[in-house]
Structure 1
Amino acid sequence: MDARIEQVVTSGQVNLDDTDHDVENNTYIIGDDDEVIVIDPAHDAEAILKEVGDREVMAVLLTDGNEHHLNVVLEVAAAGEEDEENWAPIALHRGDRLLWRDYFGRLAKEEDDEDDAKALRSLEPDIWLEDGGVFEIADAQLEIVHTPGHTPGSVCVISEQLGVLFSGDTLHRGRPGSIGGVYEDLRKQLNSIGALLTPLPKDLKVLPAQGEETNVGEEDSRWESWGALAQDED
Protein backbone atom coordinates (compact mmCIF):
# COMPACT_ATOMS: atom_id res chain seq x y z
CA MET A 1 0.00 0.00 0.00
CA ASP A 2 1.32 3.43 -0.96
CA ALA A 3 -1.01 5.47 1.27
CA ARG A 4 0.45 6.51 4.61
CA ILE A 5 -0.49 8.70 7.57
CA GLU A 6 1.59 11.60 8.84
CA GLN A 7 0.82 13.62 11.95
CA VAL A 8 1.52 17.25 12.81
CA VAL A 9 0.95 18.46 16.38
CA THR A 10 0.16 22.15 16.88
CA SER A 11 -1.00 24.23 19.82
CA GLY A 12 -3.09 27.34 20.35
CA GLN A 13 -6.18 28.71 22.03
CA VAL A 14 -9.88 28.11 21.45
CA ASN A 15 -12.57 30.44 22.76
CA LEU A 16 -15.79 28.77 23.90
CA ASP A 17 -18.51 30.74 25.69
CA ASP A 18 -16.08 33.64 26.22
CA THR A 19 -13.50 31.37 27.87
CA ASP A 20 -10.08 30.72 26.32
CA HIS A 21 -8.81 27.15 26.42
CA ASP A 22 -5.25 26.09 25.62
CA VAL A 23 -5.36 23.10 23.28
CA GLU A 24 -2.90 20.86 21.48
CA ASN A 25 -4.22 19.43 18.25
CA ASN A 26 -3.38 16.60 15.89
CA THR A 27 -3.57 17.22 12.16
CA TYR A 28 -3.40 14.13 9.95
CA ILE A 29 -2.07 14.03 6.40
CA ILE A 30 -3.10 10.96 4.40
CA GLY A 31 -1.74 10.13 0.96
CA ASP A 32 1.29 9.13 -1.05
CA ASP A 33 4.25 10.92 -2.62
CA ASP A 34 2.02 12.93 -4.98
CA GLU A 35 -1.35 13.69 -3.37
CA VAL A 36 -2.76 14.06 0.15
CA ILE A 37 -5.94 14.74 2.08
CA VAL A 38 -5.57 16.83 5.24
CA ILE A 39 -7.80 16.11 8.24
CA ASP A 40 -8.33 18.83 10.87
CA PRO A 41 -5.66 21.48 10.22
CA ALA A 42 -5.22 23.63 13.32
CA HIS A 43 -3.31 26.72 14.49
CA ASP A 44 -0.15 26.56 12.36
CA ALA A 45 -0.61 26.38 8.58
CA GLU A 46 3.14 26.75 7.97
CA ALA A 47 3.98 23.61 9.98
CA ILE A 48 1.25 21.60 8.26
CA LEU A 49 2.21 22.72 4.75
CA LYS A 50 5.86 22.03 5.49
CA GLU A 51 4.89 18.39 6.12
CA VAL A 52 2.76 18.36 2.96
CA GLY A 53 5.74 19.61 0.96
CA ASP A 54 5.24 19.77 -2.81
CA ARG A 55 2.40 17.25 -2.80
CA GLU A 56 -1.02 18.35 -4.01
CA VAL A 57 -3.71 18.82 -1.35
CA MET A 58 -6.78 17.13 -2.82
CA ALA A 59 -9.19 17.99 0.02
CA VAL A 60 -9.34 19.31 3.57
CA LEU A 61 -11.71 17.35 5.83
CA LEU A 62 -13.02 18.92 9.04
CA THR A 63 -14.38 16.61 11.73
CA ASP A 64 -16.23 19.54 13.30
CA GLY A 65 -16.71 23.27 12.86
CA ASN A 66 -15.14 24.56 16.05
CA GLU A 67 -12.72 27.47 15.85
CA HIS A 68 -9.48 25.48 16.05
CA HIS A 69 -10.46 23.49 12.95
CA LEU A 70 -11.21 26.67 11.01
CA ASN A 71 -8.46 29.08 11.97
CA VAL A 72 -5.98 27.97 9.29
CA VAL A 73 -8.26 25.99 6.97
CA LEU A 74 -8.13 28.56 4.16
CA GLU A 75 -4.33 28.73 4.20
CA VAL A 76 -4.02 24.94 4.09
CA ALA A 77 -6.62 24.63 1.32
CA ALA A 78 -4.77 27.29 -0.67
CA ALA A 79 -1.39 25.58 -0.13
CA GLY A 80 0.39 28.57 -1.63
CA GLU A 81 -1.91 28.91 -4.65
CA GLU A 82 -3.10 32.48 -5.26
CA ASP A 83 -5.88 31.48 -7.65
CA GLU A 84 -8.84 30.31 -5.57
CA GLU A 85 -9.94 27.97 -8.36
CA ASN A 86 -6.84 25.90 -7.62
CA TRP A 87 -7.53 25.62 -3.89
CA ALA A 88 -8.40 22.24 -2.42
CA PRO A 89 -12.09 21.78 -1.54
CA ILE A 90 -12.98 22.15 2.14
CA ALA A 91 -15.43 19.58 3.52
CA LEU A 92 -17.65 19.97 6.60
CA HIS A 93 -20.91 18.44 7.77
CA ARG A 94 -23.91 20.70 7.27
CA GLY A 95 -24.82 20.34 10.95
CA ASP A 96 -21.94 22.70 11.77
CA ARG A 97 -22.85 25.34 9.22
CA LEU A 98 -23.74 27.83 11.97
CA LEU A 99 -20.35 27.34 13.63
CA TRP A 100 -18.72 28.01 10.27
CA ARG A 101 -20.80 31.12 9.61
CA ASP A 102 -20.26 32.46 13.15
CA TYR A 103 -16.49 32.10 12.85
CA PHE A 104 -16.11 33.71 9.43
CA GLY A 105 -18.72 36.31 10.37
CA ARG A 106 -16.49 37.37 13.27
CA LEU A 107 -13.52 37.63 10.91
CA ALA A 108 -15.61 39.73 8.54
CA LYS A 109 -16.32 42.26 11.31
CA GLU A 110 -12.58 42.71 11.80
CA GLU A 111 -11.98 43.47 8.10
CA ASP A 112 -11.48 47.08 7.00
CA ASP A 113 -11.98 46.24 3.33
CA GLU A 114 -15.70 45.80 2.63
CA ASP A 115 -15.12 43.50 -0.35
CA ASP A 116 -13.00 41.18 1.80
CA ALA A 117 -15.59 41.32 4.57
CA LYS A 118 -18.36 40.45 2.12
CA ALA A 119 -16.33 37.51 0.79
CA LEU A 120 -15.84 36.15 4.32
CA ARG A 121 -19.54 36.46 5.15
CA SER A 122 -20.52 34.59 1.98
CA LEU A 123 -17.87 31.88 2.34
CA GLU A 124 -19.18 28.30 2.48
CA PRO A 125 -17.52 24.86 2.53
CA ASP A 126 -17.07 23.35 -0.91
CA ILE A 127 -18.39 19.93 0.13
CA TRP A 128 -21.07 19.06 2.67
CA LEU A 129 -20.08 15.81 4.33
CA GLU A 130 -22.71 13.09 4.61
CA ASP A 131 -22.88 9.90 6.63
CA GLY A 132 -21.53 7.10 4.46
CA GLY A 133 -19.72 9.42 2.07
CA VAL A 134 -16.34 8.19 0.84
CA PHE A 135 -13.15 9.99 -0.20
CA GLU A 136 -10.34 8.21 -2.02
CA ILE A 137 -6.66 9.03 -1.79
CA ALA A 138 -3.82 6.93 -3.16
CA ASP A 139 -5.05 3.35 -2.56
CA ALA A 140 -7.10 4.14 0.57
CA GLN A 141 -10.74 5.01 1.14
CA LEU A 142 -11.91 7.38 3.87
CA GLU A 143 -15.52 6.79 4.96
CA ILE A 144 -17.45 9.51 6.79
CA VAL A 145 -19.53 8.60 9.87
CA HIS A 146 -21.78 11.29 11.37
CA THR A 147 -21.29 11.35 15.16
CA PRO A 148 -23.29 14.30 16.57
CA GLY A 149 -22.90 15.39 20.17
CA HIS A 150 -19.59 17.20 20.51
CA THR A 151 -21.10 19.47 17.86
CA PRO A 152 -24.20 18.87 15.73
CA GLY A 153 -22.05 18.16 12.68
CA SER A 154 -19.22 16.17 14.23
CA VAL A 155 -17.96 13.30 12.11
CA CYS A 156 -15.39 10.53 12.33
CA VAL A 157 -13.44 9.05 9.42
CA ILE A 158 -12.76 5.32 8.98
CA SER A 159 -10.20 3.78 6.65
CA GLU A 160 -10.33 0.00 6.46
CA GLN A 161 -7.27 -0.08 4.22
CA LEU A 162 -5.18 1.94 6.70
CA GLY A 163 -6.68 0.18 9.74
CA VAL A 164 -7.59 3.43 11.46
CA LEU A 165 -10.44 5.51 12.84
CA PHE A 166 -9.87 9.27 12.86
CA SER A 167 -12.14 10.18 15.77
CA GLY A 168 -11.83 13.98 15.76
CA ASP A 169 -13.06 15.50 19.01
CA THR A 170 -15.89 12.97 19.29
CA LEU A 171 -13.59 10.54 21.09
CA HIS A 172 -10.26 11.05 22.83
CA ARG A 173 -8.09 8.46 24.55
CA GLY A 174 -9.87 7.39 27.73
CA ARG A 175 -12.82 9.78 27.51
CA PRO A 176 -15.40 11.43 25.31
CA GLY A 177 -13.78 14.28 23.39
CA SER A 178 -14.12 17.80 24.73
CA ILE A 179 -12.45 21.19 24.82
CA GLY A 180 -11.53 22.18 28.35
CA GLY A 181 -13.83 19.50 29.77
CA VAL A 182 -16.90 21.24 28.33
CA TYR A 183 -19.56 19.07 26.62
CA GLU A 184 -22.29 20.45 24.37
CA ASP A 185 -24.59 17.40 24.36
CA LEU A 186 -22.86 14.56 26.18
CA ARG A 187 -25.74 12.08 26.02
CA LYS A 188 -25.94 12.41 22.25
CA GLN A 189 -22.16 12.20 22.03
CA LEU A 190 -22.08 8.99 24.07
CA ASN A 191 -24.80 7.46 21.92
CA SER A 192 -22.76 8.35 18.83
CA ILE A 193 -19.61 6.83 20.31
CA GLY A 194 -21.41 3.62 21.25
CA ALA A 195 -22.97 3.21 17.82
CA LEU A 196 -19.61 3.97 16.19
CA LEU A 197 -17.46 1.55 18.18
CA THR A 198 -19.71 -1.49 18.52
CA PRO A 199 -19.36 -2.92 14.98
CA LEU A 200 -15.68 -2.05 14.52
CA PRO A 201 -12.73 -4.45 14.97
CA LYS A 202 -11.37 -4.19 18.52
CA ASP A 203 -7.80 -3.79 17.30
CA LEU A 204 -8.64 -0.86 14.99
CA LYS A 205 -6.35 2.07 15.75
CA VAL A 206 -8.01 5.30 16.91
CA LEU A 207 -6.32 8.63 16.08
CA PRO A 208 -8.05 11.53 17.86
CA ALA A 209 -7.86 15.27 17.18
CA GLN A 210 -6.31 15.75 20.61
CA GLY A 211 -4.00 13.54 22.63
CA GLU A 212 -2.50 10.12 22.14
CA GLU A 213 -3.71 7.27 19.95
CA THR A 214 -5.74 4.37 21.32
CA ASN A 215 -7.80 1.54 19.85
CA VAL A 216 -11.46 0.59 19.55
CA GLY A 217 -11.30 -2.22 22.11
CA GLU A 218 -9.88 -0.03 24.87
CA GLU A 219 -12.45 2.72 24.36
CA ASP A 220 -15.38 0.33 23.89
CA SER A 221 -14.56 -1.26 27.25
CA ARG A 222 -14.71 2.17 28.91
CA TRP A 223 -17.83 3.43 27.17
CA GLU A 224 -20.43 2.27 29.69
CA SER A 225 -18.58 3.91 32.59
CA TRP A 226 -18.86 7.31 30.92
CA GLY A 227 -22.60 7.37 31.65
CA ALA A 228 -21.73 8.86 35.04
CA LEU A 229 -20.35 11.91 33.25
CA ALA A 230 -23.71 12.43 31.58
CA GLN A 231 -25.48 12.20 34.95
CA ASP A 232 -23.11 14.83 36.33
CA GLU A 233 -23.96 17.06 33.36
CA ASP A 234 -27.66 16.75 34.22
Structure 2
Amino acid sequence: MDARIEQVVTSGKLTLDDTEYDVESNTYLVGDDDEVIVIDPAFDAEAILKEVGEREVMAVLLTDGNEHRLEVVLEVAAAGEEDEENWAPIALHRADRLLWRDYFGRLAKAEEDEDDAKALRALEPDIWLEDGGVFEIGDAQLEIVHTPGHTPGSVSVMSEQLGVLFAGDTLHRGRPGSVGGVYDDLRKQLNSIGALLTPLPKDLRVLPGQGEETTVGEEDSRWETWGALAQENDD
Protein backbone atom coordinates (compact mmCIF):
# COMPACT_ATOMS: atom_id res chain seq x y z
CA MET A 1 0.00 0.00 0.00
CA ASP A 2 1.20 3.55 -0.69
CA ALA A 3 2.94 5.17 2.26
CA ARG A 4 1.83 8.60 3.44
CA ILE A 5 3.04 11.16 5.97
CA GLU A 6 1.08 12.41 8.97
CA GLN A 7 2.21 15.08 11.42
CA VAL A 8 1.57 15.49 15.14
CA VAL A 9 2.63 18.74 16.85
CA THR A 10 3.34 18.55 20.58
CA SER A 11 4.70 21.13 22.99
CA GLY A 12 6.46 21.22 26.32
CA LYS A 13 9.56 22.33 28.16
CA LEU A 14 13.10 21.17 27.40
CA THR A 15 16.04 21.82 29.71
CA LEU A 16 19.53 22.11 28.22
CA ASP A 17 22.55 23.17 30.27
CA ASP A 18 20.30 24.15 33.19
CA THR A 19 18.19 26.48 31.02
CA GLU A 20 14.53 25.71 30.34
CA TYR A 21 13.01 26.37 26.91
CA ASP A 22 9.45 26.21 25.60
CA VAL A 23 9.54 23.96 22.54
CA GLU A 24 6.95 22.99 19.94
CA SER A 25 8.00 19.77 18.24
CA ASN A 26 6.96 17.94 15.07
CA THR A 27 6.49 14.18 15.11
CA TYR A 28 5.98 12.41 11.79
CA LEU A 29 4.23 9.12 11.11
CA VAL A 30 5.21 7.40 7.88
CA GLY A 31 3.17 4.42 6.79
CA ASP A 32 -0.16 3.12 5.54
CA ASP A 33 -3.42 1.87 7.01
CA ASP A 34 -1.70 -1.04 8.78
CA GLU A 35 1.82 -0.02 9.81
CA VAL A 36 3.77 3.12 10.65
CA ILE A 37 7.27 4.24 11.51
CA VAL A 38 7.31 7.07 14.06
CA ILE A 39 9.97 9.74 13.54
CA ASP A 40 10.82 11.97 16.53
CA PRO A 41 8.16 11.43 19.19
CA ALA A 42 8.26 14.23 21.77
CA PHE A 43 6.47 15.47 24.91
CA ASP A 44 3.05 13.82 24.51
CA ALA A 45 3.01 10.08 23.80
CA GLU A 46 -0.77 9.93 24.19
CA ALA A 47 -1.36 12.41 21.35
CA ILE A 48 1.05 10.54 19.09
CA LEU A 49 -0.46 7.13 19.82
CA LYS A 50 -3.93 8.55 19.24
CA GLU A 51 -2.84 9.41 15.70
CA VAL A 52 -1.26 5.96 15.31
CA GLY A 53 -4.57 4.37 16.23
CA GLU A 54 -4.79 0.62 15.69
CA ARG A 55 -1.81 0.51 13.36
CA GLU A 56 1.35 -1.37 14.30
CA VAL A 57 4.39 0.73 15.13
CA MET A 58 7.23 -0.90 13.20
CA ALA A 59 10.05 1.31 14.50
CA VAL A 60 10.69 4.57 16.34
CA LEU A 61 13.44 6.69 14.74
CA LEU A 62 15.11 9.43 16.78
CA THR A 63 16.97 12.10 14.83
CA ASP A 64 18.79 13.07 18.02
CA GLY A 65 19.04 12.00 21.65
CA ASN A 66 17.65 15.10 23.34
CA GLU A 67 15.51 14.63 26.43
CA HIS A 68 12.12 15.64 25.00
CA ARG A 69 12.35 12.63 22.67
CA LEU A 70 13.70 10.17 25.22
CA GLU A 71 11.04 10.95 27.82
CA VAL A 72 8.28 9.50 25.61
CA VAL A 73 10.16 7.03 23.41
CA LEU A 74 9.46 3.93 25.53
CA GLU A 75 5.73 4.64 25.72
CA VAL A 76 5.49 5.17 21.97
CA ALA A 77 7.56 2.04 21.24
CA ALA A 78 5.29 0.02 23.54
CA ALA A 79 2.13 1.39 21.88
CA GLY A 80 -0.03 -0.20 24.55
CA GLU A 81 1.71 -3.60 24.44
CA GLU A 82 2.54 -4.95 27.92
CA ASP A 83 4.94 -7.61 26.63
CA GLU A 84 8.28 -5.97 25.83
CA GLU A 85 8.86 -8.64 23.19
CA ASN A 86 6.20 -6.87 21.12
CA TRP A 87 7.57 -3.36 21.48
CA ALA A 88 8.78 -1.56 18.36
CA PRO A 89 12.56 -1.22 18.02
CA ILE A 90 14.00 2.17 18.98
CA ALA A 91 16.69 3.56 16.67
CA LEU A 92 19.31 6.20 17.56
CA HIS A 93 22.77 7.09 16.24
CA ARG A 94 25.55 5.72 18.43
CA ALA A 95 27.19 9.15 18.74
CA ASP A 96 24.25 10.22 20.92
CA ARG A 97 24.68 7.26 23.26
CA LEU A 98 26.00 9.56 25.99
CA LEU A 99 22.76 11.59 25.90
CA TRP A 100 20.77 8.35 26.14
CA ARG A 101 22.80 6.98 29.04
CA ASP A 102 22.70 10.30 30.89
CA TYR A 103 18.90 10.52 30.65
CA PHE A 104 18.13 6.95 31.67
CA GLY A 105 20.88 7.05 34.28
CA ARG A 106 19.13 9.99 35.94
CA LEU A 107 15.86 8.04 35.88
CA ALA A 108 17.63 5.09 37.49
CA LYS A 109 18.97 7.26 40.32
CA ALA A 110 15.45 8.43 41.10
CA GLU A 111 14.03 4.89 41.03
CA GLU A 112 13.43 3.30 44.44
CA ASP A 113 13.14 -0.27 43.17
CA GLU A 114 16.67 -1.57 42.58
CA ASP A 115 15.62 -4.04 39.87
CA ASP A 116 13.88 -1.26 37.93
CA ALA A 117 16.88 1.00 38.42
CA LYS A 118 19.20 -1.72 37.11
CA ALA A 119 16.97 -2.21 34.07
CA LEU A 120 17.03 1.52 33.30
CA ARG A 121 20.82 1.65 33.55
CA ALA A 122 21.11 -1.32 31.18
CA LEU A 123 18.63 0.05 28.65
CA GLU A 124 19.99 0.64 25.14
CA PRO A 125 18.43 1.47 21.76
CA ASP A 126 17.53 -1.61 19.74
CA ILE A 127 19.12 -0.25 16.56
CA TRP A 128 22.18 1.96 16.17
CA LEU A 129 21.56 4.17 13.16
CA GLU A 130 24.31 4.39 10.56
CA ASP A 131 24.87 6.71 7.62
CA GLY A 132 23.28 5.06 4.58
CA GLY A 133 21.07 2.72 6.59
CA VAL A 134 17.61 2.15 5.14
CA PHE A 135 14.20 1.43 6.65
CA GLU A 136 11.26 0.30 4.53
CA ILE A 137 7.58 1.02 5.14
CA GLY A 138 4.82 0.48 2.61
CA ASP A 139 6.27 1.42 -0.78
CA ALA A 140 8.75 3.93 0.71
CA GLN A 141 12.34 3.75 1.82
CA LEU A 142 13.78 5.95 4.56
CA GLU A 143 17.53 6.51 4.24
CA ILE A 144 19.57 7.69 7.21
CA VAL A 145 22.04 10.56 6.71
CA HIS A 146 24.36 11.40 9.61
CA THR A 147 24.25 15.19 10.07
CA PRO A 148 26.22 15.96 13.27
CA GLY A 149 26.30 19.39 14.85
CA HIS A 150 23.03 19.91 16.69
CA THR A 151 24.11 16.83 18.62
CA PRO A 152 26.98 14.47 17.78
CA GLY A 153 24.52 11.82 16.61
CA SER A 154 22.00 13.99 14.81
CA VAL A 155 20.63 12.42 11.64
CA SER A 156 18.28 13.40 8.84
CA VAL A 157 16.00 10.95 7.04
CA MET A 158 15.64 11.04 3.26
CA SER A 159 12.82 9.43 1.27
CA GLU A 160 13.05 9.67 -2.50
CA GLN A 161 9.69 7.91 -2.92
CA LEU A 162 7.88 10.41 -0.70
CA GLY A 163 9.87 13.39 -2.00
CA VAL A 164 10.81 14.57 1.48
CA LEU A 165 13.72 15.13 3.82
CA PHE A 166 12.97 14.79 7.53
CA ALA A 167 15.57 17.18 8.90
CA GLY A 168 15.00 16.84 12.64
CA ASP A 169 16.61 19.72 14.50
CA THR A 170 19.55 19.89 12.12
CA LEU A 171 17.68 22.31 9.85
CA HIS A 172 14.61 24.47 10.42
CA ARG A 173 12.85 26.81 8.04
CA GLY A 174 15.08 29.84 7.52
CA ARG A 175 17.86 28.86 9.92
CA PRO A 176 20.01 26.07 11.30
CA GLY A 177 18.00 24.02 13.77
CA SER A 178 18.35 24.80 17.45
CA VAL A 179 16.63 24.78 20.80
CA GLY A 180 16.10 28.32 22.04
CA GLY A 181 18.63 29.71 19.56
CA VAL A 182 21.47 27.86 21.28
CA TYR A 183 23.91 25.82 19.16
CA ASP A 184 26.14 23.00 20.34
CA ASP A 185 28.57 22.96 17.39
CA LEU A 186 27.26 25.34 14.74
CA ARG A 187 30.24 25.08 12.38
CA LYS A 188 29.91 21.30 12.21
CA GLN A 189 26.14 21.68 11.85
CA LEU A 190 26.53 24.11 8.92
CA ASN A 191 28.97 21.74 7.23
CA SER A 192 26.43 18.94 7.64
CA ILE A 193 23.64 21.09 6.20
CA GLY A 194 25.74 22.13 3.20
CA ALA A 195 26.77 18.57 2.40
CA LEU A 196 23.19 17.40 2.85
CA LEU A 197 21.49 19.99 0.64
CA THR A 198 23.92 20.37 -2.26
CA PRO A 199 23.11 17.17 -4.20
CA LEU A 200 19.36 17.17 -3.55
CA PRO A 201 16.60 18.43 -5.89
CA LYS A 202 15.76 22.07 -5.14
CA ASP A 203 12.01 21.36 -4.96
CA LEU A 204 12.39 18.57 -2.39
CA ARG A 205 10.23 19.18 0.68
CA VAL A 206 12.03 19.60 4.01
CA LEU A 207 10.05 18.60 7.10
CA PRO A 208 11.85 19.93 10.17
CA GLY A 209 11.71 18.90 13.82
CA GLN A 210 10.25 22.30 14.71
CA GLY A 211 8.22 24.84 12.76
CA GLU A 212 6.90 24.94 9.21
CA GLU A 213 8.11 22.94 6.25
CA THR A 214 10.40 24.39 3.61
CA THR A 215 12.30 23.20 0.53
CA VAL A 216 15.89 22.30 -0.24
CA GLY A 217 16.14 25.24 -2.67
CA GLU A 218 14.94 27.80 -0.14
CA GLU A 219 17.42 26.70 2.51
CA ASP A 220 20.31 26.10 0.10
CA SER A 221 20.02 29.75 -1.02
CA ARG A 222 20.36 30.89 2.61
CA TRP A 223 23.16 28.57 3.66
CA GLU A 224 26.12 30.85 2.95
CA THR A 225 24.54 33.72 4.89
CA TRP A 226 24.65 31.65 8.07
CA GLY A 227 28.44 31.95 8.26
CA ALA A 228 28.03 35.21 10.20
CA LEU A 229 25.86 33.36 12.69
CA ALA A 230 28.67 30.87 13.22
CA GLN A 231 31.09 33.73 13.93
CA GLU A 232 28.69 35.20 16.49
CA ASN A 233 28.34 31.78 18.07
CA ASP A 234 32.14 31.48 18.38
CA ASP A 235 32.26 34.84 20.16
Same fold (TM over 0.5): yes
Give the residue type in structure 2 aligned to 1:6.
E
Query: Corresponding residue for 2:5?
Result: 5
1:34-53, aligned counterparts within 5 Å? 34-53=34-53
SS for the counterpart of 2:71 is coil
Within 5 Å, give how 1:52-71 maps onto structure 2.
52-71=52-71
User: Any gaps of 5 or more consecutive residues in structure 2?
Assistant: none
- The residue that corresponds to 2:94 in the other structure is 94
CA deviation after TM superposition for structure 1 residue 15, in Å: 0.6
2:214 maps to 1:214: yes
Identify the residue that residue 166 of structure 2 maps to in structure 1: 166
Query: Displacement, 1:233?
Result: 1.2
Query: Which residue does the alignment assign to 2:85?
Result: 85
SS of the residue corresponding to residue 70 of structure 1 reads helix
Identity %: 88
Q: Say whether 1:184 aligns with 2:184.
A: yes
Whole-angstrom CA distance in 2 between matches of 1:183 and 1:66: 13
Structure 1 residue 109: deviation in Å?
A: 1.1
- Render the CA deviation track for 1:166-195: whole Å, top value 9, x for unaligned: 000000000000001110000000000000
In 2: Cα distance, 1:177 partner to 1:9 partner: 17
CA distance in 2: counterparts of 1:42 and 1:233, whole angstroms:
27
* Match in the other structure for 1:121: 121
Using the TM superposition, give the Cα deviation of residue 112 of structure 1 relative to its aligned residue in structure 2, in angstroms: 1.1
Per the TM alignment, residue 71 of structure 1 is displaced from its structure 2 partner at its CA by 1.0
Unaligned runs of 5+ in 1: none
What residue is the counterpart of 1:224 in the other structure? 224
Q: Distance in 1 between matches of 2:199 and 2:193?
A: 11
d(CA) in 2 for partners of 1:221, 1:190:
13
Question: 3-state SS of the aligned residue for 1:22?
Answer: strand
Structure 1 SS opposite 2:9: strand
Q: Please tell me the residue identity of whatever aligns with 1:7.
A: Q
Offset, 1:90: 0.1
The separation in 1 between residues aligned to 2:170 and 2:190, in whole angstroms, is 9
Q: Deviations over 1:71-100 (max 9, x none)?
A: 100000000000001000000000000000
Task: Find the residue that maps to 1:8 and give its secondary structure.
Answer: strand
2:102 counterpart SS class: helix
- Partners of 1:104 and 1:56 lie apart in 2 by 26
Counterpart-to-counterpart distance in 2, 1:113 and 1:209 = 35
Instruction: Please give the TM-score of this superposition, normalised by the length of structure 1.
Output: 0.99
TM-superposition CA deviations, 1:144-186 (whole Å, max 9, x none): 0000000000000000000000000000000000001110000
Moved over 6 A (4+): none
Which position in structure 1 is the counterpart of 2:16? 16
Cα distance in 1 for partners of 2:169, 2:46 equals 23
Secondary structure of the corresponding residue to residue 82 of structure 1: coil
